[in-house]
Structures are given as C-alpha cells and as structure tokens.
A and B are shown apart, each in its own frame.
Chain A
C-alpha cells in the first residue's frame, strides 16, 4: 500500500467558528496505479492534495486516524522529517501551469534548481554542462520536441500545454514515487488535454510512478485511472476500481454522477433534460450534519442525520446507510 489515509479531517479555523472542510475522508492507494480523485468544485479535492503535501497555511488544521505513506505515519513525524519524505517522494503539478512558473526566469533556470545533486557529479566546470544535458533529457522525456528552444524560453512564451509538460518534467526530475496532479488539464484544449493525460499514463507505466489524478473530468478519469475515489462536500462517498464503480455503484451519488455524463447511443432526444441531482452543493458555512448528501439524496431517511460509517463490500468502500444495487 502506497498511501493509506483513514478519517482525515481538515478544519478551517476562523475567529468564531470551525468548519470541517474535509470530514472523515478515507483514501487508499496501491503502488504503481493511477488513482482518480473525483468530486465537484469545492468538494475538497485540492485541499486533500495540499493536506497530503503539508502545504496548507496555519489556519487549516489537519487531523487523521492515520496517514500512512509506505508504512510510515506522516502525521506522527516531525515537520522536518515529513517535509523531507514529501520532497523526496511526492511531486505535485497544478492547474493553470502558466501561473506556476516564475515569470521572470527562463525554463532552463527553473529546471536547474530542481535537478538533484546526485545527477551531476563532476568537477565544478563539468557540472554546468551535465546539468544542462540532464534538463534536455527531462524535456525530451516529457515529449517536448524543440527542447533547446524551450530551455531558453520564458514561461509566457510557451503555451499552457507546454508549461504543464515543463511542470511534469520538474516533477519527475526527482523520480518521485507519487505524482499528485491537481486538475492538470483544467481549461486546456481537448487535444492538449489528451496529450498531457497520455504522458501521465506513459510515465505511470514506464517509470512505475503512481499518479493521484485529481479532476472533475469524468471522461478522463474513467479512461486512465485504475481506481477511483469519489468525494462529495468533503466526505468520501465511494471508492473502488474504475470498472466495478461504473458497472455496479453502491452509493446513490456515484450512480447519479456517472449518469450525468451523456453517452453516445443513449438515444437522447434533442433538447431533453440532462440527468442531474436537484439542488446544489452546500456552501462551507451551511454544511448539513450527518451525511452531507442527505438533503439532496433521493433515498435519504431519518438515519441519514448520522454520518454513515464506511463499509467494505465486494471491493468497494462506501459510506451510505441505504446503498443501492445490493441484493
């Protein structure tokens, strides 16, 4: 098991209130897989990534029953030890890659600061050329053909897709065990999107690098991810392998979520209504108690005011009092 998080709670502390933005979420990830983390906007996907990499500011408080990274509990380590492990093994890429690169430094300069020292052993004079060579290799590996030109460019001279490739190059320079991709293809053209996702897939297969793919793009996630965890409003809803989840969801939200995607051959009549749950996601200051899907759930009953425990059944992990598709 690469990553095993149980009952993670992330609390936002303000002067007079405390809000659990993530409430008892669980996620476990196998070694060498692509794991999709799916949820609507504001469901706490990015928050999870930042809690994992310990980059949250002080007003957020992170608690968990356990947060195991390859057998070590990250929350029990000191801040320095944790940072060391995270920087060694976990890399992260973001949405809007153009904003994630220093606008006043060339790509080459920015890449050279993440090249590990071990890669450029040699005399003082050789080091520079070794480093450049290593960066060229990196850029080639992420599929940038005109790497020499890219090396000298400033971020604003590159397209978003290229910037994301540079970010990926930066991330893989340390050969991380896990790449956290926080909506890497948000606001990108579909061709670039597929390029980036294929690249991640390729790196996952060849380099044995696990990928945590955080997205709200269901198409992408069902195509590339091995396992999927679904979040709703900070609570983990259901988690299983992609195939199982599509074929036989146990949680009502999962079923609704996959039904919202219109498919070819569904015989949709023109101008008919698309499937969706009534209502909208609750804002942070008005979170319902118990199961947060409760007010919108079609199967909700009295018991749903109590937060459901996560249940394991046929390879699925789900949290619901009244699951569907169970005989």
Chain B
C-alpha cells in the first residue's frame, strides 16, 4: 500500500513539475518583456526594472530562473494582473469559490440523477424504461453545452420568464464577501429576512447547474448502466438469488457497490469534463468564476493571469485525479489485491 501511495505521489509530483516547467517557459514565450510578463508591473522606472530583473535572476541561466520562479510560486507570488493591477493569487482566490460552488452543485445533481437512472436502466435492461433512459441520455450527450445553455435561457428566462438570465444574485441584495461560497455567505451575513435571498440565489443557480450537469450525467448514466448489466450477469448475483434474497436486497447489498466501485476512478475524468464545461457555462450565465476570469484574461492578453491560472487549474485537476485514484484503492478490495500480489 505504501509503495502504491509513493507511486501515486510520484506521478503527482512529476506532472506538477512538468506543468511548472511549462508555466515558467510561458513567461519567456509570451510576447513582450519577460520581466513584465513575470511580475505584471507595467509602469516601471529604470531602477525598479533593473532591480526586478536581478530579483528574478533573469540575467542568469534558465535553471536559476526556474528555481527563482518556483520560490515565488511556493510563496504564492504570481505577480500582478495587467488589467486590475491586483495580485493574481488574490484574484484567483476571489473567483475560485464561485466556480467550486457551481461545480459542486452540478456534481451533486449528476450523482443524484445519474446513479439512480443508470441503475434503473441497467436492471430493466432492454425494456422500454431502459430504451427511454438510454436514448434521452444519448441525445443529451450529443447536445453542445453552449447551445444547451442558450436554449435554457431562451426557454426559461425569455419565453417563460421563470428564472433569471445571468449572475449569481439579484443586485438588490448586497451580500458581504466572506468565503466566496454564496449560500454560506448568505448564512454568515446579518440580514434579518434571509429566505428571499436564499430563494433568489437558488433561482439563479438552477439554470447554470442544469446546463453544467447535463454532460456528466449522461456519461454517468452510461457507465452505471453498463456496470450494472455486467454485475447482474455475474455468477455471484445468480448465487445470491438462490440464497433467497429479494431483488431489492440483491441490488442494495451487492449490485450497487460492485457497480459503483469501478466508477470512482472515472470520477477524475468526469471532473475534467466538468471543469471545461464550467468555464463555458460561466461565460454563458455571466457567472463570476474561474472560467469567466480566465477567458477575460485571454481576451485582454493578461499574461500573468493566463500563466498562473494554467498552473493552478491544471494542478487542481491533477490533484483531484490522483485523489480519486487513491480513494478508489482505499475502498475497493479488488484493486488492493492486484497491488498486493
């Protein structure tokens, strides 16, 4: 087990190293002066420029420059943003909770819809229920997410006027920024009547969450369905039937666990698609999150932000991937068997 953990950590460290290397080289590859690209300070006097050049070790070898870059990364210094002239890390920490919140709800919806539907389709294999679920998920899977988001807006916001078009909260409510997670912030704020605010926040959440959850849900339904089918055909389910367990007991005790376990490592991959979709969704619904921030930075050629967010977002993704892998090993005895012998 320890060897396995070391292997995984090794993978994590190696990937992070390569990423940091790439992020570092971007500082030189971006057009413009590398001092400005690394620090983000645009109006410098000659003395300041010379000082920074020395601090960043830009006159020395690339290796020394990389070491200095790493030191700055570990100190949390990603330079300043071109457009806002505030620290990139602070900007990141400000927008990250919004994205994390949205992704988390989408993941929750994905699990709540995807797992039961996949299970149902798998158990009622080749019946009408299965065909309906499978074809709907196939259709939903093939709809591009940006188009789906716009369609939702057209239908529910413009035509039916049920739900708000964009943003996180009505401008009437001014919630002080505490954690960045809106529902938590509302709870922490000292307004008297919080229910209308919650209500408004949830109304704003529905469309982006649904848009974001669509693709992962269809993927999860597909995975769950095929896993359930293969588990239902296995010997031990047949044996369990002769033991006199009811279908419900068999599903609860044997099918669900055996079908879910192989999905856990897939969650890492699911998370990757989720992250990409989050960025698109944020643009469509003007959700002030990472995607919005990053695309804005790309439009404005805000090189320090692009450089930093590349490193931060991909590190986060890799971390989640490795984590889901390790979790899978912890809970699945079959994988432990392969590792141990």
Which A residues have a C-beta under 8 Å from some C-beta of B? Answer: 53, 55, 83, 86-88, 91-92, 94, 96, 99-105, 113-114, 154, 156-157, 167, 170, 174
| CB-based contact A55/B240 at 8 Å | no
- Chain B contacts of A114 at CB under 8 A? 243-245
- Chain A contacts of B238 at CB under 8 A? 55, 100
- Chain A contacts of B243 at CB under 8 A? 87, 91, 113-114, 170
Given that A103-B258, A104-B332, A105-B253 are contacting pairs, would A156 and B337 also be in contact in the complex, using a CB cutoff of 8 Å? yes
State the CA gap A86–B236 with chains docked (Å).
18
Known: A99-B236, A113-B243. 6 other contacts (CB 8 A): A53-B242, A94-B239, A96-B235, A100-B239, A102-B236, A154-B333
State the CA gap A135–B52 with chains docked (Å).
74
Nearest A residue (CB) for B337: A156
- Chain B contacts of A101 at CB under 8 A? 236, 239
Chain B's interface: helix, strand, loop or mixed, by majority? helix
Which B residues have a C-beta under 8 Å from some C-beta of A? Answer: 234-236, 238-245, 249, 253-254, 257-258, 261, 332-334, 337
Contact partner, B258, options A92, A96, A102, A113, Cβ 8 Å: A102
State the CA gap A83–B241 with chains docked (Å).
10
| CB-based contact B235/A113 at 8 Å | no
| CB-based contact B239/A105 at 8 Å | no
Nearest A residue (CB) for B253: A113
- Chain B contacts of A92 at CB under 8 A? 239, 242
State the CA gap A114–B240 with chains docked (Å).
9
Per CB-CB distance, the 8 closest pairs between chain A and chain B, nearest first, are: A87-B244, A100-B239, A99-B235, A92-B242, A154-B333, A102-B236, A102-B254, A156-B337
Contact partner, A103, options B236, B239, B240, Cβ 8 Å: B236
Q: 28 pairs across A/B with beta carbons < 8 Å?
A: A86-B244, A87-B243, A87-B244, A88-B244, A91-B243, A92-B242, A94-B235, A94-B239, A99-B236, A100-B235, A100-B238, A101-B239, A102-B236, A102-B240, A102-B258, A104-B257, A104-B258, A104-B332, A104-B334, A105-B257, A113-B245, A113-B249, A113-B253, A114-B244, A156-B333, A157-B337, A167-B239, A170-B243
- Chain B contacts of A100 at CB under 8 A? 235-236, 238-239
State the CA gap A92–B239 with chains docked (Å).
8
State the CA gap A184–B186 with chains docked (Å).
64
| CB-based contact A104/B239 at 8 Å | no
- Chain A contacts of B334 at CB under 8 A? 103-104, 156
Nearest B residue (CB) for A53: B242
- Chain B contacts of A156 at CB under 8 A? 333-334, 337
| CB-based contact A91/B236 at 8 Å | no
Q: Which of A91, A99, A100, A174 has the most CB of B within 10 A?
A: A100
State the CA gap A145–B51 with chains docked (Å).
77
Nearest A residue (CB) for B332: A104
| CB-based contact B257/A91 at 8 Å | no
State the CA gap A113–B254 with chains docked (Å).
11
B304 to chain A: closest CB distance in Å? 48
A288 to chain B: closest CB distance in Å? 31
State the CA gap A114–B241 with chains docked (Å).
11
State the CA gap A91–B243 with chains docked (Å).
7
- Chain A contacts of B258 at CB under 8 A? 102-104
- Chain B contacts of A96 at CB under 8 A? 235
| CB-based contact B333/A55 at 8 Å | no
- Chain A contacts of B245 at CB under 8 A? 113-114
| CB-based contact B254/A105 at 8 Å | yes
State the CA gap A94–B235 with chains docked (Å).
9
- Chain A contacts of B234 at CB under 8 A? 99
State the CA gap A103–B234 with chains docked (Å).
11
A83 to chain B: closest CB distance in Å? 8
